[in-house]
Structure 1
Amino acid sequence: MARNKKTIDYLNQLQGKGYDKTHGLFDLYYKWKEKSDIELLSKFLDLLWSEVDNIRPKLGIATYNTFRGIALEEFIYESLNKFVEKTKFKLFWNDRILTEEFYIFEDGAFKKYPKYKAVDLTIGTREDNQIHPFAIISCKMWYGADTLDSDRSVFDNIRNRYPSVFGYGVCMECNVKPVSLISAQRTGLNIYNFEKKNQFKDFIDDIKHNLQEIDK
């Protein structure tokens, strides 16, 4: 797992800055981490948002925004790893996937220049220090047209090298036209908006189904 800073680190930082409501955040954090309950995560994120005027000055704008995004990533990581770790695959957090290799003739010899794409979460295997993805998951607090287009581009680049890879985009809120979501799904990028009822369960069930299919 490449992610070095987790939700607990931001909570400890916030507590160290003198924020006096960390108890409620710690309590919710431990609960959603253990139970993989999307409602508990939503309450945690809502509390961070309702306290934005008190929290952001202590952490800074960039750190505050990163904090919320990391919480979502960690929630998905913990939820997936409960069953991924029982398969032949591993779950990678914030690792890079090789998408292209260029060979350029320099100084009398060909030199290899690899090109990578960073991915929030990857289900796959690691061989020769390279991750071979079975599925990639992009985690967004909010999906807009630009972020969806960016994720589609990353997915297309990775799929060019790994044609059978599954692509997922998950979010807590989505402001994208239905036609764009349909277009993304037709090209293989499945979008799940956890703001809608049962979308988290559907996301988990979809990945479980695909993992079971490959073991048949």
Structure 2
Amino acid sequence: VLLVISNEYDLRNSFLKEIADHSELLDLRTPFKQEMQKWVRYIVNNRKIRITEEALENYIRIYGDSTAHVINEIEKTSLMLGDEEINEKNMENMDGYARVFKLWNLQDSLGKKELHTSLEITSSLLVNGTPFPRILVNLVYLYQQMLWKKMGQQKPVGYTGINKIITSNITSYDKSYSHSELVRVLQELRKLDVLCKSTSLSDESLIQPLIIKICQSQYV
């Protein structure tokens, strides 16, 4: 058995296409949100785990970097609750439950201009030890891709710093931002990068005003 692994999934590549035509092709990328919800629901139903749609969506929002991660967290909760149906109330009241967000969650919420969610995710990232410069650079990745999209570049080139879920939503995010706004956000992020190295203010105090500006489309 010969196993060939490629990080670039593009059958326009003649080499990959030739292999795919004469072998079993497995796409192991993280599915889009809608597809992930269907797969997770299918798996939990097969495993006879009872969970409400609201709770399932919450797990995908928090742990949706991969289907396996979502299923693993749901199974852990199911083991603790026994036969009880998983819902938003009991999952949040469980001992040891905490919302652990990823950087792509923040990219997604800011792309959608969701103020409360963006503030919640930022606070969680900082509390759980995510370095502030890393948060900034991941936001630069997001807004740079959106700016290039606005300027007519239809397909990302090279390393983008954003995952499949965010890439698939760029067009949707882009509708909420003007060209000048994207330029302004990138300028503000670069200012924060300099300021965080020369001020005694907390990281959260530095980034909260910018998040509010972005989500409310108000720049002074």
Query: Per residue, is there more helix in 1 or in 2?
Result: 2
TM-score (norm 1): 0.29
Query: Per residue, is there more strand in 1 or in 2?
Result: 1
